[in-house]
Structure 1
Amino acid sequence: MTTYTPTANSPALGTVHLPQASPRARAAGGRLTVFDALKAFASQLIVLHHLVAYGPLSEALRLRFPHLVDWLYYDGRLAVQVFFVIGGFLAARALAPSLQARPLSLSSALWKRYRRLALPCTAAVLVSIVCAAIARALIADPSLPAAPHFSQLLAHLLLMHDVVGVEALSAGVWYVAIDFQLYAMMAATVWLTRLARPPRRTRVLALLTSGLALLSLFAINRNPDLDFIAPYFFGVYALGAAACWLSRRDRSPLWGLAIALAVLLALQIEHRERVAVAACVAASLWVGLRSGAFDRWPELRPLAFLGRISFSVFLIHYPVAMLVNAVVSHIWGATPATAIAGLLFAWAASIVAGAVFHRQVEQRFSA
């Protein structure tokens, strides 16, 4: 088993490294395999959500399996909350393990993060543009993105397409932009705490992070018009950071209970399924790490593989789905039978394409 070491620029959908949990887990190889299972399950659920959300085959599949399609369409997208929690966990682990801020060059950290996220995303967007052009030549479907213009490409390269209000060229690129913004918020928060006196830095970091999280959960996250900026999601991102910081057994469990009560109060004011899902994921990580239950989590190679390539699958599955929809609909037509076969093929092809993209593109920017 390969031993991994923590890095500051691992994306939430990429390689996950073991927090400072227990000697037995570190002796087992340094890999927290429960994260692989979470990433594998969540990423595949998002792929299925997009497969039933776009294209003529999705409409044909709805005729045969309306309840399944509705569940994947409305509830499958909640899986992205898993990645927000994991992203917050990893950011806390990389930037300020045990609430102790590491020496940080903010510009360098942000550039590494941008390079790690934006460049593979840009490559996937270029693939999506080519696949969309082929698909438009074969079928007329309103879900297909139009040919891009230069300002649209530039907005995607800068991860600003939602901020400036241009149409996305691929599904899921909104998450990459938000993930970068969230990491920037966390990095800036850690950097600011280093301006305080050393004995107070831990308390200042906890207070700043908590304050931003509460502002998000009780105010910003209640306005859906703000879902294009990071503060809307920072509350759930901070839950992942809290799971990291409070998983040490020398931390009082009362802090975890206080956070749980705050989340319950926020949900009582306005129930939001996405926040509830994120809270459950963060609570499971906190309890599992503190108790040592994850030390005994079995490492299953298929889940480890799917977890490792999850970011690439996330980036590349939409152009694959567009192409399969267009070819199958053009040659055989969109019927329930062709939809079942075509979407199952698109699912498998997305995994294969994700594995190739991971090896040929993502890993080149992971150093």
Structure 2
Amino acid sequence: MPLLDAAKGIACLFIVGHHLCRYGPLPEGAAALAPRLVGWLGQDGRLAVQVFLVIAGFLAAASLAPEGVLRANQGPWQRVWQRYARLAMPYLAAMCVSVLVAAAIRPWFAHEAVPAAPVLAQLLAHGLLLQDLLGYEALSTGVWYVAIDFQLFVLALVMVMLAEWLQRRWQLSAARAAWLLALLVLALVAASLFAFNLQAELDTTAFYFIGSYGLGMLAFWLDRIPGDARWTIALALLAAVGAAALLWDWRIRIAVALAVALLLALAQRRGWLGAPPALLESRPLLWLGGISYSLFLIHFPIILLVNAVVARLGPHSPWVDALAMAAAVALAIGAAALLHRWVESRPASWRLTLGLLAALLMCGALVAA
């Protein structure tokens, strides 16, 4: 699905730009050259995360229940483990880099963006994707998303298994079970959009984000509806639920998620996922989309390192800050390519995952020493 790769590549650049314009002294100097751009990226660039949430839900539906019923090739625990390993392997490697970079620059770069030296419990919480639920400071900006993605996948799996259980209990046909699953997910999406997503204290849980994620799941299943008329009615219903939620309480993040979900549903129906417009089918953009998860994980310590080095050099012009920001993006992409090649693209395995967790704990011990 090259269109999804292109979308992820663009969204990831916005996330990198958001963090680049939000943390460290470099954006303060570069803002003199482009104040509106730096200000907008620093404030609203984070909205690109909604693209990842919707696409993640879209792909989860394709993986777990492409026909609206649970795919029978794996058991639930195997699915949970595989998802954890796919997320955790590059994540743990990136956390090692974050811990070491923070330790290296902390003595001579006093900035609030630099994480404090971690403790053992904090490292373990990060390894298990529980850091936000347990109230620990993040070792790198953006790692909250990895934990939320894992929670959302597990919640989606629970919903699919619930529909399968109800199908057996009520002796439903496969077609009716598929409709039941869609209605269950739609109900959960509505509950999130009208209630959970309005409670800021829930933003460490999947219930806060299931609205966007579930819109992606429903967008995937829309293509299973036969007939253009019925598909159009279903698409209008999905749009109406999202619009009603925005009328209930306007949130730009939900508006972005709804727009992405509707566009995905339309693109799938028209066959654009495999044949995107020529502008989006460029090889560099598709390649960037392929390494977008690694880039999402590794860019922040690179940004901190470049900020620290340039700040250490002493007074300089806004142009130096702007060029340093561009260099940080290039270095982050290079680091992401290495992380993707040597870790993310490798098959999931207990041995590698546990080895990377042990490496993270060793990095913490080395820093503490």
1:157-194: CA deviation from partner (whole Å, max 9, x where unpaired): 11111111111000110000000000000011111222
- In the other structure, the counterpart of 2:237 is 258
CA RMSD of aligned residues (A): 1.5
Pairing 1:171–2:147 present: no
Answer yes or no: is the 8 Å Cα contact 1:40–1:306 preserved in 2: yes
Q: Which amino acid aligns with 2:307?
A: N
Inter-partner Cα distance in structure 2 for 1:131 and 1:315: 14
- In the other structure, the counterpart of 2:161 is 191
Inter-partner Cα distance in structure 1 for 2:126 and 2:63: 26
Answer yes or no: is the 8 Å Cα contact 2:56–2:216 preserved in 1: yes
1:256 offset after TM fit, Å?
Answer: 1.2
Give the 3-state SS of the residue equivalent to 1:162 in structure 2: coil
How many residues end up aligned between the 2 structures? 336
1:306 offset after TM fit, Å?
Answer: 0.3
Q: Higher RCO, 1 or 2 (CA under 8 Å, sep at least 6)?
A: 2
- Unaligned stretches of 5+ in structure 2? 350-369
Choose which of 114, 117, 137 in structure 2 pairs with 1:147: 117
1:295 offset after TM fit, Å?
Answer: 4.9
- Unaligned stretches of 5+ in structure 1? 1-31
Between stretches 311-320 and 222-231, larger displacement belongs to 222-231
- In the other structure, the counterpart of 2:292 is 310
Inter-partner Cα distance in structure 2 for 1:296 and 1:360: 29
- In the other structure, the counterpart of 2:42 is 73
Inter-partner Cα distance in structure 1 for 2:66 and 2:309: 49
- In the other structure, the counterpart of 1:109 is 79
CA 1:94/1:295 → structure 2, altered by over 3 Å: closer, same or farther?
closer
1:44-83 equivalent positions in 2, closer than 5 A: 44-83=13-52
1:335-350 equivalent positions in 2, closer than 5 A: 335-350=317-332
- In the other structure, the counterpart of 2:220 is 244
Q: Which amino acid aligns with 1:258?
A: L
- In the other structure, the counterpart of 1:273 is 252
- In the other structure, the counterpart of 2:359 is none
1:80 offset after TM fit, Å?
Answer: 0.5
- In the other structure, the counterpart of 2:193 is 217
1:214 offset after TM fit, Å?
Answer: 0.8
Could you tell me the TM-score, scaled by structure 1's length?
Answer: 0.88
Answer yes or no: is the 8 Å Cα contact 2:148–2:205 preserved in 1: yes
1:294 offset after TM fit, Å?
Answer: 4.4
1:293 offset after TM fit, Å?
Answer: 4.1
Give the 3-state SS of the residue equivalent to 2:345 in structure 1: helix
Runs (4+) of structure 1 exceeding 4 A deviation are none
Pairing 1:123–2:93 present: yes
1:62-95: CA deviation from partner (whole Å, max 9, x where unpaired): 3332211110011110000000010000000010
Q: Which amino acid aligns with 1:278?
A: A
Could you tell me the TM-score, scaled by structure 2's length?
Answer: 0.88
Answer yes or no: is the 8 Å Cα contact 2:109–2:308 preserved in 1: yes
